[in-house]
Amino acid sequence: MTIQTLAIVGGQWGDEGKGKIVDCLSARTDAVVRFQGGHNAGHTLVSDNRKVVVHLIPAGILHQHVRAFIGNGVVLSLDALQKEMSSVAEHARDLSERLRISEDCTLLLPSHAALDQARESSKGKRAIGTTSRGIGPAYEDKIARRGIKVHDLLNANILSEKVTVLLDYHNFLLSERYGAPQVDAGDVLDFLSGAAEWVTPMITDVSSDVSKLIDEGKRVLFEGAQGVLLDIDHGTYPYVTSSNTGTGAIATGGGIPVSRVNHVMAIIKAYTTRVGAGPFPTELNDETGQRIAERGAEFGATTGRPRRCGWFDAVTVRRAHQLNDFDGVCITKLDVLDGFDTIKICTDYRVRDTVSNNMSCNAKNLGECEPIYEEIPGWNESTLGTTRYADLPRNAKKYLDSIAELCGVPIDIISTGPERKHTIFNEALANWI
Ligand code: GDP
Ligand code: IMO
Ligand code: MG
């Protein structure tokens, strides 16, 4: 089947390399759509040694022909967007003509970030380890029907009234509940009123625009943020982000029914990482974990925090597949595992006296699991930058086959380095590249 619409989602705890793959595939993509999350995301794009990190702007933007959409499911900080637009402007010609924002996005305000930080501090040891960007509080306000929407920017009176009411509530919580400094409502209103001027020309009905592009036969890529194990419903709750991170969010947060998506690809690392707190059954708190972290340069693209590292966990990826019906996977960072004598894959969990290979990934369940490993031989050759499958070491191929078999999903792409060109494409995407 010819693929015209493609979804890219994180298959683990985020930072799998989604940005690199979206950027790669965007060379022959007409539009890229973000549909959930906010500037908690950090997607790294590397080409010819030039590194660009995007948080809100869809990762296809470096390609001058790509139209970029921020869907209604994104919680949008206009302050962060403005800064990001300035920082990528030199790499992305005609940015403001190519970037469009849904009129129905919920705005993320400085008081959301203040609340996020105050809540995290008050939790002490139980802190989630959020990115402190205000993501949770912004989604709370959206669901509680008191959020400020992008279309509210178009009416000064409505904007003023809503900001006053919302900031009153936020400031009550900040000072009375958390003993934290208040946020000046006048400053927030001034900023938003000023922002209305530069945002208004970018406001659109994303559902209609993207539907039309699909009707016209254009190629559309949906760019997920975070990963399935950080999903608010299916992840390691409460150690999750506050949005749905799987393919269902394309419909709710992009306005495009999932039935219009031809191919769903999960991006998964050849091992596992996570940032922030929460259970992580295959975590390695030893030299091996440190070696993976160093070789993989595992520091957060948004907060710079060190990422926790561990072996590949086939149980959680299989669960992610059950929830999202992946058509294929892209396995990234294979090169990071070069030079290990043996490599472990978690095939099942031991939970007290029983062996299990499928369960809800909430924190209670995963917190009780002990990984059961299969150990397979590693390889000594360097795979960094390999572009042909045939050139991979025999044991690397075996390792990839084991992952595909254990997860029950074919491999669409193998990534062997951070650069666009460090990529091996399989047949499934032959028409796209
Ligand atoms: P995302 O959030 O899923 O887009 O991933 P991040 O950008 O936060 O983190 C992935 C990191 O790995 C970035 O620094 C990428 O440049 C880098 N990266 C992506 N693919 C590969 C790969 O195949 N090998 C290596 N060594 N680095 C990679
Ligand atoms: P990308 O798109 C990795 C994690 C945070 C924290 C939890 C909740 O780059 O893969 P939040 O600020 O969302 O309320 O934090 O989720 N987290 C991510 N981890 N990659 C991300 O995005 C993440 N976005 C949020 O570290 O544990
Ligand atoms: Mg990231």
Residue 190 has what pLDDT? 98
Ligand closest to the CA atom of residue 280? 2
Q: Ligand 2: distance of its center to the CA of 303 in Å?
A: 10
Residues 236, 121 share a domain: no
Residues 406, 291 share a domain: yes
Q: Are strands 354-356 and 328-332 parallel, antiparallel or unpaired?
A: unpaired
Residues 412, 295 share a domain: yes
Residues 244, 307 share a domain: no
Residues 344, 308 share a domain: yes
Residue 100 has what pLDDT? 98
Residues 186, 145 share a domain: yes
Question: What is the number of domains present in the chain?
Answer: 3
Q: Ligand 1: distance of its center to the CA of 319 in Å?
A: 23
Query: Tens-of-pLDDT digits for all 433 residues of the chain?
Result: 789 999 999 999 999 999 999 999 999 999 999 999 999 999 999 988 899 999 999 999 999 999 999 999 999 999 999 999 999 999 999 999 999 999 999 999 999 999 999 999 999 999 999 999 999 999 999 999 999 999 999 999 999 999 999 999 999 999 999 999 999 999 999 999 999 999 999 999 999 999 999 999 999 999 999 999 999 999 999 999 999 999 999 999 999 999 999 999 999 999 999 999 999 999 999 999 999 999 999 988 788 889 999 999 999 999 999 999 999 999 999 999 999 999 999 999 999 999 999 999 999 999 999 999 999 999 999 999 999 999 999 999 999 999 999 999 999 999 999 999 999 999 888 788 8
Residues 404, 315 share a domain: yes
Of 233, 260, 287, the one marking the end of a domain is 260
Residue 97 has what pLDDT? 97
Q: Are 311 and 371 in contact (CB under 8 A)?
A: yes
Q: What is the DSSP string of 99-126?
A: EEEETTPEEP-HHHHHHHHHHHHHHGGG
Ligand closest to the CA atom of residue 241? 2
Ligand 1 pocket check for 18: Cβ under 6 Å: yes
Helix or strand or coil: residue 175? helix
Q: Are 400 and 307 in contact (CB under 8 A)?
A: no
Residue 431 has what pLDDT? 80
Residues 128, 191 share a domain: yes
φ, ψ (nearest 5 deg) of residue 88: -95, -5
Residue 340 has what pLDDT? 98
Spatial CA neighbour of 100 closest among 133, 142, 136, 61:
61
Residues 391, 340 share a domain: yes
φ, ψ (nearest 5 deg) of residue 297: 45, 55
Ligand 1 pocket check for 227: Cβ under 6 Å: no
Ligand closest to the CA atom of residue 45? 1
Residue 161 has what pLDDT? 98
Residues 214, 192 share a domain: no
Q: Which of 15, 79, 116, 348 is catalytic?
A: 15
Of 173, 199, 225, the one marking the end of a domain is 199
**Which residue do the tokens 């940005």 mark?**
19
Residues 393, 290 share a domain: yes
Residues 365, 284 share a domain: yes
Distance CA 235, CA 405 (A): 23
Terminal Cα-to-Cα distance of the chain (whole angstroms) = 15
Active-site annotation holds for 15: yes
- Return the best residue to mutate from 34, 52, 241 for the ligand 2 pocket (most ligand atoms within 8 A of CB): 241
- CATH of residue 227's domain is 3.40.440.10
Distance CA 102, CA 149 (A): 9
Distance CA 108, CA 410 (A): 38
Residue 214 has what pLDDT? 98
Distance CA 186, CA 163 (A): 9
Residue 121 has what pLDDT? 97
- CATH of residue 391's domain is 3.90.170.10
Ligand 2 pocket check for 232: Cβ under 6 Å: no
Of 149, 176, 199, the one marking the end of a domain is 199
Spatial CA neighbour of 315 closest among 267, 266, 357:
357
Full domain range(s) for residue 126: 106-199
**Which residue do the tokens 């070069």 mark?**
338
Q: Write the CB contacts of 156 (distance below 8 Å, at least 6 apart in sequence).
A: 193, 196
- CATH of residue 155's domain is 1.10.300.10
Q: Ligand 3: distance of its center to the CA of 37 in Å?
A: 12
Q: Are 254 and 268 in contact (CB under 8 A)?
A: no
